[in-house]
Structure 1
Amino acid sequence: MSSTTTVTMGQEQQHATLNLGSHIDQLDKHGFLFGQKLTASMSPLLHDVVYQGLGLNWEQLRLDSTDMDLFLRLIRHPKFYGASVTMPHKVAIIPHLDELTEECRDVGACNTLFLRHLPDGRRLFCGANTDVIGIRESFVQNVPDPSVYENRPAMVIGGGGAARSAIYALHKWLKATCIYVVSRDKSEIAAVVAECTKRSYGARLVHVETVKQAEALEGPGAIVACIPDFPPVSEDEKLLRRITEVMLRKEQKGAILEMCYNPSPYTALGALAESEGWQVILGTEALIWQGIEQDKYWTGRETSELPVAQVKETIANRLAKISKQ
């Protein structure tokens, strides 16, 4: 099946819903990628490779919409298997779910909706956060020597949902001694610190606010960048870049995961880090591993049973095309 089916909901919502109904009749099961600005997302492509590899007549459909009520109606369909949830719905979806995994609850954001079937035939709508797995596995799978980042400080650039997932992964699995947090928006960091404090690990966060402060700190071993690939324009953005440059130029290097991969994973920040001697991990690595984790929820298979090699090859081929462009 094609992995490019898109349903855009707006004034033609009723017509689009009818078209969707005719399409899913041809599938054994269907899911959604629910959010906005989905055109360049590789998520449906990734899952299409998995379903073809397993011989499943399934498809993930792009649902480009802000209409939560519509989404909640669509997921009641008997052929629905689950959904990837992206911005701006990762937090808003949580009150509508029956159960949350530990990671979803602790991060306070959901990127994966899956079903749990009860003996009486009822379905529970459950939320998971596989972003944290994607971040963890990006380092575990790509950095041969974990001492590069373990038992060293780490740093997270940005203060949104991806930053929260990064903090959780660095804290829980990647053995960061402390986590530097930097953002152009101080109120974002204040909110992140408050939430992490409520979940018992806020004391490990260090808000780096000045170049002088950055110069005095021990260098990080792992950096996760969770900001768009735009050149700094405002004074706050320029300060954020200078603080980042100070950290990248520390004597002891490490690995940086550049979460931004849309429209291209080859970012200015990634190029800067590489020039300073850092190992750069593309954001598509996080996409791959969080997607594989999602398919474990949806298909009930283990990682060893999923076509991971084919997924990586397909994403690499897509990246090669982007690189040529």
Structure 2
Amino acid sequence: MSQSQTTLATSKTANPHTSHEIDASLAPPPPDTTHLDRVLYLFGYPIAHSLSPLFHGTVFSNLRLNYTQYLYESRSLSSCLALTHDPKFLGASVTMPFKVAIIPRLDFMTPEAAAIGAVNTIWWKTDQDGRRALCGTNTDCIGIREAIVRNVNKDKVEAMKGNKGMVIGGGGTSRAAVYALKTFLGCAEVYLVNRDKSEVDAVMAECSKEDFGDGLIYVSTIEEAESLQAPAVVVSAIPDFPPKTEDEIRTRKVIEILLGKEEKGAILEMCYHPSPRTEIAALAMRSGWQVVPGTQAMIWQGFEQDRVWLNKEVNELPVEKVKAVIAAKLARSHL
């Protein structure tokens, strides 16, 4: 794993997370932690469907740790941060709408989080002088990398270096996907395909600001798609809705053309809720692509979180047990 994941790279203003009032109307009561040795949380809204507590709970129980991760569904970031001052607090997963909003409230960020501009994992770190820092990282990019590297033929992964990649979508996951394709997998150029040009412009600007924006190409027309070389690897990060508007229909056609070229690679379909059987996955399979389900990215980003929180390498974690538990849960939910 990347050593920079645990490097404190970007300093923030000291203790900014203590300066905001808590909106009690948005803050659910904290859970009872008296029976636990350590406690973790998932902060965000809405999060009721999340598999995160099951995932991490399986890790903790198999390591015989008296730890629990609670869903803390709140619209108040301050109420979430108040829980980090519990002496039993070990760390938290952070999801929407707080992935960006939490950044000014941190003391440090890792290089991945700073480059992507979003945080999904926090924890406290104490230096040799006893000073504590609230740290943040982004494990989404690690999940994307590992989902591809661990599921795709080694020769095909090697062929991604210097080749073309493609990211479908323009939301927050798109930045993590571009970062993973360029920084970890070595793609020289990345096609960006999305119905909304303004979202792509924002992604390109943010990536360029953080020095991984070279070689990003917005593909908006059928003619452009027909003229381009096929990508070797694709990350799809859009919801599973059938195209209805003119822009959506044109974008879907662009995707069909790029996936329909003679050269075939691997596509990571990040959407798996409510079902991994998405229209993009079906289109890719019909076109002869290897489809890696988004649950793989979820699993490997989760193991990276546990690596950070527990200070254990992934090979020390119950990987196969967790994968079996998550697979069984998803199989029941998709019946």
TM over 0.5: yes
Greater CA drift, 260-269 or 314-323: 314-323
| Cα shift at 1:227 | 0.6
Q: Residue 149 of structure 1 contacts residue 255 of structure 1 at CA under 8 Å; is this kept in 2?
A: no
Structure 1: which 5+ runs fail to align? 1-8
Question: Pairwise mapping of residues 105-254 of structure 1 onto structure 2 (< 5 A)?
Answer: 105-145=114-154, 146-147=157-158, 149-254=160-265
State the distance in 2 between where 1:252 and 1:94 align: 41
Residue in 2 aligned with 1:96?
105
Residue in 2 aligned with 1:83?
92
State the distance in 2 between where 1:176 and 1:130 align: 20
Residue in 1 aligned with 2:14?
none
Of the three residues 266, 274, 292, the one matched with 1:263 is 274
Q: Does 1:281 align with 2:281?
A: no
State the distance in 1 between where 2:26 and 2:181 align: 41
Q: Residue 222 of structure 1 contacts residue 254 of structure 1 at CA under 8 Å; is this kept in 2?
A: yes
Residue in 2 aligned with 1:45?
54
Q: Residue 150 of structure 1 contacts residue 221 of structure 1 at CA under 8 Å; is this kept in 2?
A: no
Residue in 1 aligned with 2:9?
none
| Cα shift at 1:54 | 0.8
Residue in 1 aligned with 2:34?
25
| Cα shift at 1:173 | 1.1
Of the three residues 22, 43, 56, the one matched with 1:34 is 43
Local SS of the residue matching 1:244: helix
TM-score computed with the length of structure 1 as normaliser: 0.92
CA 1:275–1:48 in 2, change beyond 3 Å: closer, same or farther?
A: same
| Cα shift at 1:11 | 7.2
- 1:126-163 CA distance string (max 9 Å, x none): 00000000000011000023245333200001111100
TM-score computed with the length of structure 2 as normaliser: 0.89
State the distance in 2 between where 1:118 and 1:108 align: 25
State the distance in 2 between where 1:149 and 1:265 align: 25
State the distance in 1 between where 2:285 and 2:124 align: 41
| Cα shift at 1:10 | 9.0
How well do the aligned residues superpose, as a CA RMSD in angstroms? 1.6
State the distance in 2 between where 1:134 and 1:177 align: 20
State the distance in 2 between where 1:45 and 1:65 align: 19
- 1:255-313 CA distance string (max 9 Å, x none): 00011122222212111111111111110100010000000110011111111111111
Which amino acid in structure 2 is aligned with residue 268 of structure 1?
E
Q: Sequence identity of aligned pairs in percent?
A: 48
Local SS of the residue matching 2:90: strand
| Cα shift at 1:83 | 0.7
Of the three residues 290, 309, 313, the one matched with 1:302 is 313
